[in-house]
Amino acid sequence: MRRLDLAGGTAVVTGAASGIGRALAASLARRGAHLVLLDRDADGLAAVAARLGAVPVTTHVVDLADADAVAAVAAAVRERHPRIRLLVNNAGVALSGRFDQVTTEEFGWVMDVNFRATVLLCHALLPAVERGGHIVNVSSIFGIAAVAGNTAYVASKFAVRGFSEALRQELAPAGVGVTVVHPGGVNTAIAATARRGSGVEEAEHAAGTREFSRLLRIDPARAAEVILRAAERRRARVLVGWSAKLPDALTRLLPGSYGRLIERAARRTADRAVRATARRSG
């Protein structure tokens, strides 16, 4: 499959109002792509579109947790853009709490946004994807290495990974590539905007959010460039940052026991969070 040329082609990006999605929009604009941007944040989406200069941009405000809304926006995109060169399923949400601390409805919300919307958009837009086009699905390092306290998020990102790997094999004969992305600690609002599970105390949620946010150090613009270069080269998967590459190596070396090492690291992080909370309370 030849290198992906984005100039003049239509690129659809979800979660485009902030973080990696906003950076992807900027990088795609510099490559000369025509942009179709989706997000539930109307103001953020408008601000991104306003900064992109003269490139053609269409925006759609949509809540990806709503299956009917996803179907409607996909139909609108196909009607206006019958030929799509790149589809990037980037939108994602997080939920704090162990499995026993969240409701099945809360769990389902994460699966709906992170996984079901990816599947629905791939299914609805695939007929419009050009031969020689490409699909990028954003998973996470938590789609490679599981961690406690984020069961819903981990499940959704493992699902994205498996779906993408199977889809890649199925679409290869049709000349459509698929890249699955596993970002490490990218500096986005994913932690700050995470929902608190019904059974999680506010102090526990706040402390966990602060500690997790400290790990998010990679510039989204850098992540976007890594992702687009991987798509252009038709790479099957891409790990963004050492915070993704090291856990990936760990799961390969210790597939049955890496969890114990992660648990120890998480316990140390939790202890620091508790001490920090105690200092602020005192």
Q: Which residues participate in catalysis according to the annotation?
A: 153
HEC string of the chain equals CCCCCCCCCEEEEECCCCHHHHHHHHHHHHCCCEEEEEECCHHHHHHHHHCCCCCCEEEEECCCCCHHHHHHHHHHHHHHCCCEEEEEECCCCCEEECHHHCCHHHHHHHHHHHHHHHHHHHHHHHHHEEEEEEEEEECCHHHCCCCCCEHHHHHHHHHHHHHHHHHHHHHHHHCCEEEEEEECCECCCCCCCCEECCCCCHHHHHHHHHHHHCCCCECHHHHHHHHHHHHHCCCCEEEECHHHHHHHHHHHHCCCCHHHHHHHHHHHHHHHHHHHHHHHHC
Q: How many CB atoms lie within 10 A of CB 59?
A: 18
> Whole-angstrom Cα distance, residue 159 to residue 115?
7
CB atoms within 10 A of CB 195: 17
- Name the residue with tokens 């026993």: 100
